[in-house]
Amino acid sequence: MIDIHTHILPGLDDGAKNWEESLQMAQVAAEDGITYIIATPHVIRGLYDNSKEEILAAVSRLNSRLEEEGIPLSIGPGAEYRLEADLAEKLKRGELLTLNDSGRYLLVELPDTFLPEFTADVLYQIQLAGVTPIIAHPERNMVLGREPAQLSAFIRRGMAAQLTTGSIMGLFGSQAKKISRELLIKGLIHIVASDAHSPSGRTPRLKACRQMLSESFGDDSSRILVQENPRRICQGRELVTPPLVEKPLWKRLRKRWKQARI
């Protein structure tokens, strides 16, 4: 499995605090069956001003440490960029780091409580630059959670969305779990990732969530969400849309999610 959204680099944001925690997170991921991780530290103006060069250097050093420790995991470069009015201009100047440095996908984080008025325009400008925005954890944005039609509009325009394992499994509460289910049912999600921040709590694990997705949506959908599309992102290839759930299955699907105790 491949995890395309993690905060595993030490000391760059609110993720791993030091190299010890980074290595512990790597060990957790490897034991869970993850073979490749994209490190995506926050980039937020005035709070986490992580440059492309700093991230690349940290990824290189972490890969060296993993090799020294014998942990069977590889790290690719990336970042989680907070949506700002000049994000597309920074991309065009070569200041931003696409996922796995492939030049194809940019992980974009929206504010939790609102959608800035420039959201649609900035995302479109990123597309015009030849890069596909991936909207990180839309289920945790209050507007998109309340009005999924707005996320649907972004997806119809060729963008993608990434759901977080913790939301699917109830870590962020019943509302985020409910919204996650609805977005999956509507076919608006292309990738599931851990958004891991530490070796305990918000950890880099995918296996349990993949099993839950398989039971509710089928093996093909779960494979696309946690394996096939993450691999395509790393390779800079076009994403696949997971099969839609048939309407007659909705009632049974909802019952499974309601009964899940994970």
pLDDT band of 242, cuts 50, 70, 90: confident
Residues of the domain holding 231 = 2-259
pLDDT digits (tens, 9 = 90+) for 65-102: 999 999 999 999 999 999 999 999 999 999 999 999 99
Domains of the chain: total: 1
Query: In angstroms, rounded to a whole number, what is the distance separating the alpha carbons of residues 84 and 30?
Result: 34
Nearest to 170 by CA among 232, 71, 68, 262: 262
- Asked if 24 contacts 196 with a C-beta cutoff of 8 angstroms, the reply is no
Q: Which run of H or E residues covers position 6? A: strand 2-6
CATH number, domain of 220, equals 3.20.20.140
- Give the model confidence (pLDDT) of 119-152 as tens digits: 999 999 999 999 999 999 999 999 999 999 999 9
Place of tokens 């994970």: 262
